Structure 1
Amino acid sequence: MSEVTQPPGASGRPDGAAAVVVGGGLAGITAALALADAGVRVTLLEGRPRLGGLAFSFQRGELTVDNGQHVYLRCCTAYRWFLDRIDGASLAPLQDRLDVPVLDAEGTPGRRLGRIGRTALPVPLHLARSLATYQHLSLAERAKVGRAALALKGLDLSDPALDAQNFGDWLAAHGQSERAVEALWDLVGVATLNAVAGDSSLALAAMVFKTGLLSDPGAADIGWARVPLGELHDTLARKALDSAGVRTEVRTRVTSISLNENGRWSVQVPGETLEADTVVLAVPQREARDLLPEGALDAPERLLEIGTAPILNIHVVYDRKVLARPFFAALGSPVQWVFDRTEASGLREGQYLALSQSAAQDEIDEPVSVLRERYLPELERLLPAARGAGVKDFFVTRERTATFAPTPGVGRLRPGARTKAPGLYLAGAWTATGWPATMESAVRSGVSAAGAALGALGRPRDHLFDVFEEAA
């Protein structure tokens, strides 16, 4: 049985406001920190034995393994704020300048490697050189990509009609060939949206490309953790929470929440009832639906209409070094993105590669043996040095509900932070942040929920990251 107690004085208003945050992913951690930094007494409840949500690490023998590869961009200003808040920015640095090696498994020798990068020139000239030399597209395709990018830049992201449109149809209407979609638009879009263009909302796709590639020259510079994700999202996050005075309880699952006659909330966990002025539900949409009290949302069943999309991660440990660069993307192969995780994992000999496979509906339940037979030969096609290397370990991690599905129309289903119940707020990457299901969206949602709660409590909010500021 869980033993959960509130700090002294938490049960009465005279000693100040109390809050309970349900869920210890990035959204919940952010909300808890933001509330605590404003003087609110916060209890954070997480059902799993660790913090971090779906961006976590685990041990496999001597390896420290991330469940999947997570990256962020320079334009992810909220996640960067989060890293600063937990003193983790130096452990997840950004590239000095965007540079993505793109290998084509079907290309001829000498023409297999292309690059997507930028210069210091202003938008959109910062991508001109990269596009002009991107050998995976013909000259005519490159010219059409440039025209489509300018058309995309002109879209109004506040137009609700974009949410109902299909990004794939929009690309086709703007002259994009199947090859251009594969070699450029989906190369970026699948990794950020977790869906191919034909399954994506134009609103979300336009947001990704306008913010990431067409807002600022450095917006798309890539950052990723050089340490295990658990060191950031669990160890450092927990240290920050402790320093802020947040009581953190893991292995503690909430069974119900209800509004008392005195206007306060009761949060039920096994063996204990917690009372609070404010509750933030920072859990997946289906779990939120189950916990919401009657009347909190006008149409709570709509949360169940928000679909989910899987991500498959393939982990390969070789007995020698087979990849010289930190990461690459692939074309003409089922392989999507490959990262070198050797140093971060603690591997002492050989090399450890992590393959991130988004939009993996067709493969998420494939047996490991089938995936091994499919992906090891593909890596040998892409990486000549792998052809004579021994495979010391091959395993997979599966996140069947890794993100919400960014399908056309999903925008109307995503609720904001406020509910109709006073003192009850929602957070999570699936809420109405305007972003796809990324770490950035999760952090923004936590800030939004905390900001709304602090406003209702009459507490200061000037310490919060401005979730409405333009990406920079």
Structure 2
Amino acid sequence: MPDGTTGPTRHAVIVGGGLAGVTAALALADAGVRVTLLESRPRLGGLAFSFQRGELTVDNGQHVYMRCCTAYRWFLDRIDGTALAPLQDRLDVPVVDADRPEGRRLGRLRRDALPAPLHLGRTLATYPHLSLAERSKVGRAALALKGLDLADPALDRQDFGSWLAAHGQSARAIEALWDLVGVATLNAVAGDASLALAAMVFKTGLLSAPGAADIGWAHVPLGELHDRLARKALDSAGVRTEVRSRVTSVSPHTNGRWSVEVPGESIEADAVVLAVPQRETHDLLPDGALDAPGRLLEIGTAPILNVHVVYDRKVLDAPFLAALGSPVQWVFDRTDASGLKEGQYLALSQSAAQEEIDLPVAELRERYLPELARLLPLTRGAGVRDFFVTRERTATFAPAPGVARLRPGARTRTPGLYLAGAWTATGWPATMEGAVRSGVSAADAALRALGRPRPARLFDIEEAA
């Protein structure tokens, strides 16, 4: 949907067809820029994709977002996918602890329609997985967290676990509340996570607007959103999209233009956005583009393991649940989205999975099926029709203390070259929200340099949730 402005047509090449690259392409095309999007894989969507396993359509991993994720919500709206990934009316997370002397116990994290932070007061006061003293200390720590200044660079040099301990949080409180949320959003336990990133997650998601933490997730395969609908939106915007097209080099000319090389073709452009992982970006950067390009290689990565189990009957009545006292972290019902006609398909999302990411499937089966039987009593009489795993060894950047100094912004030192990706300096951890925000930032920087106005529908993502 070009904005109709006049002037010479400019051409931008986007390298990478994940959420960051697709966002940048749509934003630039909406501003009247001619765009070519190059993706080395046979599909769009980056690491949020689907594949076929027999009759099942399987997501490589479970991805959720929250109401405060205004950029990803813009993205869904832009590709006409909002109705396919709805939000909860109100935050409601069942939390099961099967490792208790008195037996399995269910609690819930819910919000009320009260101003923040009072909206979580009742759920904290009645949360059965913490003692009364622990709940009281959690409330005081939350208020202290709310008072942190996210602009303070010192926060990034501290780890979240030490800060929690200094604010009276027990090991149980960290497991049953802080890591319950933090591991899923940061892909790291509290002791391995930057205080700055953790504070950003909790302040934005749980301590800002009452509805900020309401959870949304795709009710269709991710490929329906991030590949099919994204490609349809790109086509409608006039973007040339090429998959199975690996970029081998990116070179600036003396006249300010660029050459992007793919096998059999050299593409000329006025601007280039590198929207690929940090190591691939490092290899494509021309000399002098960053002050310290080696820092990109210092950004660590963290794995996510996903365990997929198909039962011959229904064993879970909720769309998802979180677990305590178990290797299991989060369990999602993917039956309808996968196209399964009989039985139930559960997907277990295991973040910060460094110790398990390379274990054989047989060993993971021996570990997780008994755990599901402890958490979900109905599994004890059910048959297992299928069990498989998907592994993303470099799923996200590691949100370790000190990572902020390693994350570059959208602009480089070389005019016309921009960076995008959840690993860039978005202020967010490696989430779909961070990826989309990075694409917005790269497009904004490119449009300013190209002298093009911002599209009317973009850059409204900072509105309150």
Matched, 1:216 2:209: yes
Matched, 1:285 2:281: no
Look up the equivalent residue of 1:354 and give its one-letter code: A
Look up the equivalent residue of 1:93 and give its one-letter code: P
Matched, 1:333 2:333: no
Sequence identity (%): 83
- In the alignment, which residue of structure 1 is the partner of 2:3? none
Name structure 2 gaps, 5 residues minimum.
1-5
Matched, 1:191 2:189: no
Look up the equivalent residue of 2:395 and give its one-letter code: A
Q: Distance in 1 between matches of 2:459 and 2:33?
A: 20
Matched, 1:21 2:14: yes
Q: Distance in 2 between matches of 1:276 and 1:462?
A: 20
Which of 430, 455, 469 is the aligned partner of 2:462? Answer: 469
Contact kept? 1:166, 1:199, Cα under 8 Å: yes
- In the alignment, which residue of structure 2 is the partner of 1:51? 44
Contact kept? 1:339, 1:353, Cα under 8 Å: yes
- In the alignment, which residue of structure 1 is the partner of 2:173? 180
Matches within 5 A, 1:11-410: 15-107=8-100, 112-410=105-403
Look up the equivalent residue of 1:254 and give its one-letter code: V
- In the alignment, which residue of structure 1 is the partner of 2:404? 411
Matched, 1:459 2:462: no
Name structure 1 gaps, 5 residues minimum.
1-12
Q: Distance in 2 between matches of 1:138 and 1:111?
A: 17
Contact kept? 2:30, 2:455, Cα under 8 Å: no
> What's the Cα RMSD here?
1.2
Q: Distance in 2 between matches of 1:90 and 1:110?
A: 39
- In the alignment, which residue of structure 2 is the partner of 1:7? none
Q: Distance in 2 between matches of 1:15 and 1:153?
A: 48
Q: How far did 1:105 drift?
A: 1.3
Compute the TM-score of the two structures, normalised by the length of structure 2.
Answer: 0.98
What is the total number of aligned residue pairs between the two structures? 460
Q: Distance in 2 between matches of 1:429 and 1:131?
A: 32
Look up the equivalent residue of 1:277 and give its one-letter code: D
- In the alignment, which residue of structure 2 is the partner of 1:435? 428
Q: How far did 1:465 drift?
A: 3.3
Q: Distance in 2 between matches of 1:108 and 1:323?
A: 23
Look up the equivalent residue of 2:80 and give its one-letter code: D
Runs (4+) off by over 3 Å: 108-111
Contact kept? 1:425, 1:453, Cα under 8 Å: yes
Q: Distance in 2 between matches of 1:198 and 1:415?
A: 24
Compute the TM-score of the two structures, normalised by the length of structure 1.
Answer: 0.96
Q: Distance in 1 between matches of 2:436 and 2:418?
A: 14
Cα distance per residue 1:50-72 (max 9 Å; x no partner): 00000000000000000000000
Which shows bigger deviation, 259-268 or 174-183? 259-268
- 2:124 match: secondary structure: helix
Q: Distance in 1 between matches of 2:228 and 2:73?
A: 17
Look up the equivalent residue of 1:127 and give its one-letter code: L
